Amino acid sequence: MHNHAHIKRSQEIKTIATELGFSTCGIARAEKLDDEARKLEEWLRRDYHGQMSYMANHFDLRIDPTKLVPGAKTVICLSYNYYPTSDECEDGPKVARYAYGRDYHKVIKRKLKTFWSRLQGTYGEIDGRYFVDSGPVMERVWAERAGLGWRGKNTLLIHPKQGSYYFLAVIISDLDASPDDPIRDHCGTCRRCIDACPTGAFSDDGYILDASKCISYLTIELKSEIPDEFRGKMEDWVFGCDICQEVCPWNRFAEPHQEQDFEPRRHVTGMSREDWRSMDELSFEQTLAGTPLMRAGFQKIRDNLNFLD
């Protein structure tokens, strides 16, 4: 197949992405991530993953897409905006913006399914798998390679015109298409995220996150009690944390999302301390079913609230 056909195919893929509401789409070559393998190994060795033992699982799959999809040629990378129209948690305990509405896994999985059937409809017998924050896939690395942004000092992917409030998804397939060029790092000398993190989760120069100190980890992933060293440092976050995105100058370009499913649920954003406190397990599960908060669960949120007081 000539280069011209590859370029055309790349454009066709991006058109589908736009039609399905994705913010950006880029393509990377499917190849083994040797550099990343070394970095991941070191990150795990330092225990920066805390209790997230799954980060150490399937190491070989994580660094080699051809082990997930034999014969894989490309990794199609997609971003999906979740920036809300307004910052909702003014008075009560704070919830990260990505969790205001319906669980993003469900919303984006459905779009990926449609995406995949459209690719099959267009190109016939192709083999592949799609992932949204699931499975042993390093989405940020691929998105960076595909030119969707650079990995900032806060370790998140930052797009120079859109900021960082979006979900990442990837489609690994044996479909061949023209890859995109990465864009360069635009963090410069800025260190707002490093300085603003209340728990000091970033390395001195940024780019490395000790997740075991990250408020997002402490309020969601950590199954045991939050260690005492973090008392008074949680800044009212009860589920997740957005501080390193809030202070990032690139997020002044963030535009509100257009996704009905991400509209804030009153039981996530309109809750006072008392409202949260008065919830029992049953009302928690009834009102918060289908939201990301179910990942932490009732008891964990209750513990987080106690820790904030």
pLDDT tens for each residue of 85-98: 877 667 779 999 99
pLDDT at 1 over 60: no
Q: According to the model, what pLDDT value does residue 92 have? A: 78
Q: According to the model, what pLDDT value does residue 267 have? A: 84
What is the C-alpha to C-alpha distance for residues 235 and 215, in angstroms, rounded to an integer? 9
DSSP assignment letter at 181: P
Q: According to the model, what pLDDT value does residue 2 have? A: 58
Domain chopping of the chain, boundaries: 1-309
Q: According to the model, what pLDDT value does residue 45 have? A: 96
CB atoms within 10 A of CB 189: 4
Q: According to the model, what pLDDT value does residue 78 have? A: 98
Q: According to the model, what pLDDT value does residue 84 have? A: 94
pLDDT at 285 over 90: yes
What is the C-alpha to C-alpha distance for residues 112 and 134, in angstroms, rounded to an integer? 13
Average pLDDT over residues 90-108: 92
Q: What CA–CA distances, in Å, run from 78 to 19, 63, 118, 170?
A: 12, 19, 15, 6
pLDDT at 193 over 70: yes
pLDDT at 104 over 80: yes
Question: Is 261 among the residues known to form the active site?
Answer: no
Which tokens in the block code for residue 242?
């957005």
- Tell me: the pLDDT tens digits for 201-254? 999 999 999 999 999 999 999 999 999 999 999 999 999 999 999 999 999 999
Residue-wise DSSP of 11-73: HHHHHHHHHTT-SEEEEEE----HHHHHHHHHHHHTTTTTT-GGGGTTHHHHH-HHHHSTT--
pLDDT at 278 over 70: yes
- Tell me: the pLDDT tens digits for 38-75? 999 999 999 999 999 999 999 999 999 999 999 999 99
Q: Residue 101: pLDDT band by 50, 70, 90 thresholds?
A: very high
The active-site residue out of 133, 174, 261, 275 is 133
